[in-house]
């Protein structure tokens, strides 16, 4: 059984005049939430071993503590910046076969759309910042298709799931 997380980046700071959206960092709240998720990851039985993430600063700032807390390989992909559901699926399909637990840290609206398409279930109308939608499926990564995964759980910072 393979498991994957679809993770929206943490709360970002407001854009600065003259600075590109891609360069926005996490806000103080986003940094606190990312630290809490790192600690939570350290206590999970089914730890991630692979984390894909957008190259946007706020996504990297979110993915780094997740990867560190899971002792996972972190791979940045420019294609995940504002990616469509199809790009998110293609990225998961390219996960190395020896990996059983992976994550993608990316952006809305594509991430929320992908979450709803993975299991043909309405997971959420909007993944909030640092929400984690967890799915499982019983096949190789290359065989993953929309509608073939089983939705397991939706975790958010405000739900209290990341408290240790």
Residue 7 belongs to domain with CATH number: 3.40.50.1240
Q: Helix %, strand %, coil % for the chain, to 5?
A: 35, 25, 40
pLDDT digits (tens, 9 = 90+) for 114-136: 999 999 889 999 999 999 999 99
Distance CA 22, CA 19 (A): 8
Percent of the chain at pLDDT > 70 equals: 98
Is residue 109 a part of any domain in this protein? Answer: yes
Residue 21 lies in a domain: no
For residue 110, give its domain range. Answer: 2-15+30-159
Q: How many domains does the chain have?
A: 1
What was the pLDDT predicted at 17? 63
**Each residue's pLDDT tens digit, 67-114:** 999 999 999 999 999 999 999 999 999 999 999 999 999 999 999 999
Token pair recorded at residue 149? 């995964």
H or E element, residue 31: helix 28-42
Predicted local confidence at residue 32, as pLDDT: 94
Torsion of CA 135, 141, 71, 67, to 10 degrees: -60
């Amino acid at each position: 059984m393979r498991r994957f997380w679809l993770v929206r980046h943490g709360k970002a700071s407001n854009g600065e005049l003259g600075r590109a959206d891609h360069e926005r960092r996490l806000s103080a709240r986003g940094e606190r939430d990312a630290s809490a998720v790192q600690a939570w990851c350290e206590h999970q039985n089914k730890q991630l071993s692979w984390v894909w993430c957008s190259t946007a600063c706020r996504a990297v700032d979110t993915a780094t503590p997740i990867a560190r807390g899971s002792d996972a390989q972190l791979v940045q992909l420019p294609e995940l910046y504002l990616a469509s559901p199809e790009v998110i699926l293609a990225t998961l399909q390219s996960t190395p076969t020896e990996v059983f637990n992976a994550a993608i840290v990316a952006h809305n609206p594509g991430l929320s759309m992908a979450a709803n398409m993975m299991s043909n279930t309405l997971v959420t109308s909007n993944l909030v910042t640092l929400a984690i939608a967890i799915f499982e499926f019983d096949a190789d990564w290359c065989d993953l298709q929309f509608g073939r995964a089983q939705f397991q759980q939706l975790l958010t910072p405000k739900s209290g799931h990341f408290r240790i």
